[in-house]
Every structure is written in C-alpha cells, then in structure tokens.
Amino acid sequence: MSLPFLLEIGVEEIPDWMIPGALDSLGSLFAGLNIPAEKIKLDATPRRLVLRAQGLPDRLPDSEERVTGPARSVPAKAVEGFARKLGVRPEDLAIESTAKGEYYSYLRKVEGRKVVDILAESLPGLILKITFPKTMYWTGKGGPRFIRPIRWIVALLGGAVVPFELAGVRSGNESSGHRRLSRDRQGAVPVTIENYEQRLRENFVILSAAQRRRKIEDGIAALSVKLKPDPSLLETLVYLTEYPTPILGEFDPQFLALPEEVLITVMRHHQKYFSVEDASGRLAPRFVAVMNTDADPEGLVRRGNERVLRARFNDARFFWQADQRKKLADRLEDLAHVTFQAKLGSYLDKTNRVVELVKELGGDDAAQRAALLAKCDLPTELVKEFTELQGVVGGLYARAQGEPEAVWQAIYDHYKPESMEDSIPRNRAGQLVSLADKLDTLRECFRIGMIPTGSRDPFALRRAAQGVVRIMAEGRISAAAVLPPNGEPLANFLKDRIRFYFGERGFRYDEINAILAAGWDDLPDVEDRLRRLRASPNVEQLASSFKRIKNILRQADFQDGPFSKDLLEPGPESELYDYMFRVAVGQPIETIIGELAPRLHRFFEVVLVNAPQDDIRANRLALLAALQRRFILFADFSEIVTNS
C-alpha cells in the first residue's frame, strides 16, 4: 500500500531569513529516516514548516540480519549462551567462515515495522534537530529548544494521524489559518492531506513561497509603478507574510531634497518598503509596502505607513540639518569617545594608524585627507540613527562641506567591498583608505589574539581580509610595504583568502599554491603568472621533476653542502647548470617552463643522482637544492598535481 504523508509544524513567527535553511534541514532529516518516499515537497510560511511526500509504504519490508557469535573453538557452554540470547536452539546456529576464522552465526528475521510507528517514534526528535542559527526554550528550564514556541502539529499518514507529543503539543489534523483573516479565528482548521493546501488558502494562508512571490509581483505590476529592483527585500517579504498584498503610498516631495541614499535606507532597512523610480530613473516620492493581509479598502494601512515614513524622514532631516552645524574635521576629537573595540581603544587611535598606513602605501594628499576624515561621521546623529549608512553619510557631508571629489568619494566608498558581489572603491584614494582600514582591523585583532576560528568570526575579519585581497587584485595595488611577513598567522589568513579569491576565478588550488610560494604581495602579477602557468604545455612534466627533486632531497635528508662546478659531468648536468645561471628573473614564466622542463627531464633520464662516489652524489644534491631555491622565485612547481 502506498500512502501520502503530511507534516506541518506550527510555530510562532519564525525569522524570515532562517526559513529556507530550516526547510533544507527538515528535508535532509526526513531523508535520513530511510523511509521510501517520493515527490517530497517542502513549504513554509512564517508560522509553519511543512513537509509533504507521496508513496510511503504501510510497513517496511521484512529483512534478515546476520548475527555473528563466538568462534567455533569455544566450549559448548558459550555456544548455548549465544543461542539463548537470540532465543533459539544451538542446533539452529550456522557456521560462518571469515578471513579471521570460523564463527557461530545466526540469520535473524527482522519483521518490517509499520511506518506510522516509525514516524510517531522519530518525528519528535527529528523536529527538534532542525537547525536554526539561534534557539530558545519556552516550556521551562531544560525543556525542548526550537526557534520559537511550537504551537500545533499536523502529522497525517494517509487518513490517519501519526500520534506523538512534543513540548506539550499533541499531533493531530488541525491546522491554523491567518491570524486575523482566518474564517475560524480562534479555532483550528481541520485538514486532510488532500484538502490541506486548499483549506489554508480559504483561510488566507498561501503555503507556497513561489505563489506568495508571484502575488507580490503581480500586485506591484497592477500598481503601474517602476520599482528600484531589490530581490533580497522581496525574499524577506515572501517569508514575512502568509498572505501578502502590496500597496502604494506617497511622501511629501520636499523630502527629495535629502540624499537619495538616506531616503532609500529609511524605506528599505527600517520600513521594508520598495523605492519607486520615475521615468528618468530618479527616486519618486512614492513607495510600495507589502501588507500581510488581503486589502486596504479604506486606505487605513496606507495612511498609517505614510505617517510612519513621514516621522522617519522628519527625523532624518532633523539629523541631517543638525549635523551640518559641525564640520567633519571638527569631529575628529569626538572620535576619542567612540569605541573601536574594547581592548583596541577608540576610533581616534584607529584613525591615526590608518593615516600612517595610507602614507606607507604611498597615498597622496587626497588619500591622507580621506583617511583622516573617514570615521568622522560616526559621532553624527544621522549615523547613530542609521548605522548602515556609515561612510556614505561621511562622504555626503564631506561633499556638502566642499571637500574635493577625490576625498569625499573616498570617504563615501571606504567600507567597500562589503560582499563578494560589491564593487571596490571607485578611486585610488578610496581603495587605499579601505585597504588600510581593513588591514589595520586585521592587524590589531590578530595582535590581541582575536583570530577567527571555524564559524566564529564576530569581527567579520574574513570579510575584511577578502576586501583587502580584492582591492589589491582589482585595484592593482602592490602592498608589499604593509603586508605581514610569511609565517605570521595573519599572513596565512590572508593567503587563505587569496586562494579562495583565485579559486572562485576558476584556478586550481594546486596552481595557486605553486604560484603563491613565489610571493603574494602583487596580486595582479599572481593572476598573470597563474594564466601563463595554465597555458604552458610542459607544466606537468616540470611538476613531476620538481616533486622528484623534493623527494630525493628529503630521502637524502640533505640540508646544504659544498658545490663544485668541476664535479659536473658534461652533457645534461652541465647544461642544466648553465641554464640555471643564464635565466633572468624577469623572464615570463611560460618561457622558464618551456626551457627548463625538457632540460630537467633529460637530466633525470641520463644522470644518476645517487652516484656511487660520495663527492659526486653530494655535489648533485647541492645542484638540485640550488635549482629548487632558484626557481621558487617563479613558482613552487612541486605543488602542482600531476595526473601521471
């Protein structure tokens, strides 16, 4: 018999951004039960996580299990004991031959269990294993933990309830509709597997995220306005609502005198509104809000949202005007009162260090000025209110206060890049300030041992390091003067990010490691060498030879030794030696590879390194060691993985 299955975990409002991950987790936990099932569907709204499946068997098939007992050589008593434990007679046991010898064994029949029993037994534990970034308890200390309290559970296999209890909630067939639009508001909504989605729909819950997304998009299309595209806000709203309906609101056009960045931030981050563009792509005095309800016939919700936005914009304007009374440069001393990090002092300290770093990086006057003013927006009212606008606000104030374009743009951009997708600062001053700011954070945190481990990275140091790497690479900045020396933890941390960066760009990790061994302070050059390395046909041959050199030196435990040119044999050995000293450091790497690979190959074909004469053997080892030292300036070819 083949049965459909429905599990609905009814929860108080789950944070929107955690829902997709929770569904993934639910899906893999269910798969882990190893119950045959097909057409598994996962759905969610803020108040429910739902798994549906078809084709579950009524019971699992019977199976056999071989139980291995004592060795054949044991006394009869032990054999009887083994049989008794299994509930059979000794003569029912078989003898099994294995590589280790002969053993008593028994083929036990295992009756297939009813699936409803397996589910009833495993679902409570399964539900509590769903992973969330942060959980709570609610039934009392030591009670179950989940993202928010579980308030109802629907668990149906075919027509029957899968009976269990979790956190004081008994599973059943009663779901729940929209908090206020549900036709039976206080009561429950009884469902069957067949009518489940329809019953929810009747009670103003759209189960499918795709359908909610479409309802929002269709609703917006019907408003005939052009939005600033914002896919992540759309995703937030899809998981923040059970029955989304967009509405159009307006604000007083006089607020358009405020910078667009400020207006959009207020709408997007604080109110979760979409911004609207006019025909020319400029911000229009309108917004789209998405309600979690069906309609706003009297305009009550629209007017409410408009008033909230007006108050927010008024605040922003108040802050904007109040902040203008004091110039950015005059706020420098206020930075002494802004904590950078408890153990690392104030932002004034940080600013002084960053200015120094920018100088070391060769920053011009504009870059140094931008470094000095970069953090001066932190004590402004506007940034205290809208922290996500740090940098941007400083840039806008700098522009309003007559700082040159190179300076204000650098301040504006200096937190960039904030993600893998984000661009790096648009001008050189901004790139240097951003690089110096991030590098300073990394240096200081590493200095006091605040080093990220595993998933713990409270200061977002990986992102800072990623920013450093991208600015060095894409801004073509050689940062040799300020990077930590090889071997330091921070150097390794940065190199990890470099590997990741080039890995994302399609290079293999072995290639990257080979190239980085020759230096990593000039990333455009690293990328250049990576491309050339990849385009060289003899690379594998050369890699094999260098691996061989490494092995030979390791086996000989060779550290260093005298070398004499006179001991060289004419032919491949001398030619290799001559080549080694002829080759110039500035040569393109593909030339080196092309010339060196056949020479080394021939050397190994013809020359016996482990020569019977001690002095010749030692001389050859010294030659190989010198070769290794010489060519690591281009790459550590032994790192490259060979197929042969």
Tell me which residue of 594, 603, 588 sits closest to 634, measured CA to CA.
Answer: 588
* DSSP letter for each residue of 599-636: HHHHHHHH--SS-SSHHHHHHHHHHHHHHHHHHTTT--
Tokens 């301040």 correspond to 411
Q: How many residues contact another protein, by CB under 8 A?
A: 52
Contact 14, 46 (CB under 8 A): yes
Contact 576, 600 (CB under 8 A): yes
Tell me which residue of 68, 65, 67 sits closest to 110, measured CA to CA.
Answer: 65
User: Interface with another protein includes 179 (CB under 8 A)?
Assistant: yes
Nearer to another protein, 288 or 600 (CB): 288
Task: State the minimum distance, in angstroms, from the CB of residue 387 to another protein.
Answer: 15
Nearer to another protein, 145 or 476 (CB): 145
> Which one among 29, 115, 309, 472 touches another protein, defined by CB under 8 A?
309
User: Interface with another protein includes 450 (CB under 8 A)?
Assistant: no
User: Interface with another protein includes 292 (CB under 8 A)?
Assistant: yes
State how far Cα 507 lies from the chain centre. 19
Nearer to another protein, 72 or 303 (CB): 303
Q: Which residues contact 169 (CB under 8 A, 6 or more apart)?
A: 150, 151, 152, 153
Nearer to another protein, 137 or 509 (CB): 137
* DSSP letter for each residue of 146-196: ESS-EEEEEEEETTEE---EETTEEEESEE---TTT-SSSSS-EE--TTTH
Residue 182: exposure state from Cβ atoms within 10 A (0-12, 13-18, ≥19): buried
Contact 568, 574 (CB under 8 A): yes
User: Interface with another protein includes 500 (CB under 8 A)?
Assistant: no
Handedness of CA 205, 22, 458, 358 (dihedral sign): negative
Q: Which two tokens stand for residue 607?
A: 């020359």
> Which one among 33, 107, 311, 606 touches another protein, defined by CB under 8 A?
311
Task: State the minimum distance, in angstroms, from the CB of residue 378 to another protein.
Answer: 12
Task: State the minimum distance, in angstroms, from the CB of residue 299 to another protein.
Answer: 10
Element (H, E) at 119: helix 115-129
> Which one among 96, 230, 261, 296 touches another protein, defined by CB under 8 A?
296
Q: What is the spatial distance between Cα 637 and Cα 590, in angstroms, rounded to a whole number?
A: 12
> Which one among 66, 72, 84, 180 touches another protein, defined by CB under 8 A?
180
Q: Which residues contact 576 (CB under 8 A, 6 or more apart)?
A: 599, 600, 603, 623, 627
Nearer to another protein, 117 or 333 (CB): 333
Q: Which two tokens stand for residue 644?
A: 């042969």
> Which one among 298, 504, 557, 614 touches another protein, defined by CB under 8 A?
298
User: Interface with another protein includes 57 (CB under 8 A)?
Assistant: no
Nearer to another protein, 266 or 367 (CB): 266
Q: Which stretch binds another protein (CB under 8 A): 307-315, 457-465, 478-486, 523-531?
A: 307-315
> Which one among 73, 186, 232, 453 touches another protein, defined by CB under 8 A?
186
User: Interface with another protein includes 181 (CB under 8 A)?
Assistant: yes
User: Interface with another protein includes 629 (CB under 8 A)?
Assistant: no
Segment 340-399, which members bind another protein (CB under 8 A)? 340, 342, 345-346
User: Interface with another protein includes 187 (CB under 8 A)?
Assistant: no
Q: Which residues contact 517 (CB under 8 A, 6 or more apart)?
A: 632, 635, 636, 639
User: Interface with another protein includes 554 (CB under 8 A)?
Assistant: no
Segment 209-268, which members bind another protein (CB under 8 A)? 240-241
> Which one among 86, 222, 336, 481 touches another protein, defined by CB under 8 A?
336
What are the CA-CA distances from residue 545 to residues 7, 98, 502, 601, 638 (Å)? 60, 45, 25, 7, 8
Task: State the minimum distance, in angstroms, from the CB of residue 29 to another protein.
Answer: 23
Task: State the minimum distance, in angstroms, from the CB of residue 455 to another protein.
Answer: 18
Task: State the minimum distance, in angstroms, from the CB of residue 19 to another protein.
Answer: 11
Q: Which stretch binds another protein (CB under 8 A): 291-299, 368-376, 494-502, 580-588?
A: 291-299
User: Interface with another protein includes 271 (CB under 8 A)?
Assistant: yes
Q: What is the spatial distance between Cα 220 and Cα 233, in angstroms, rounded to a whole number?
A: 14
Helix (H, G, I), strand (E, B) or coil at 375: coil
User: Interface with another protein includes 172 (CB under 8 A)?
Assistant: no
Binding mask 118-157 vs another protein (x if CB under 8 A, - otherwise)?
Answer: ----------------x-xxxxxx------xx-x------
Q: Which stretch binds another protein (CB under 8 A): 27-35, 68-76, 294-302, 561-569?
A: 294-302
Contact 279, 242 (CB under 8 A): no
Q: Which stretch binds another protein (CB under 8 A): 180-188, 208-216, 550-558, 633-641?
A: 180-188
Q: What are the residues binding another protein (CB under 8 A)?
A: 12-13, 15-17, 46, 134, 136-141, 148-149, 151, 168, 179-181, 186, 240-241, 271, 273, 289, 291-293, 296, 298, 300-301, 303-305, 307-311, 314-315, 318, 336-340, 342, 345-346
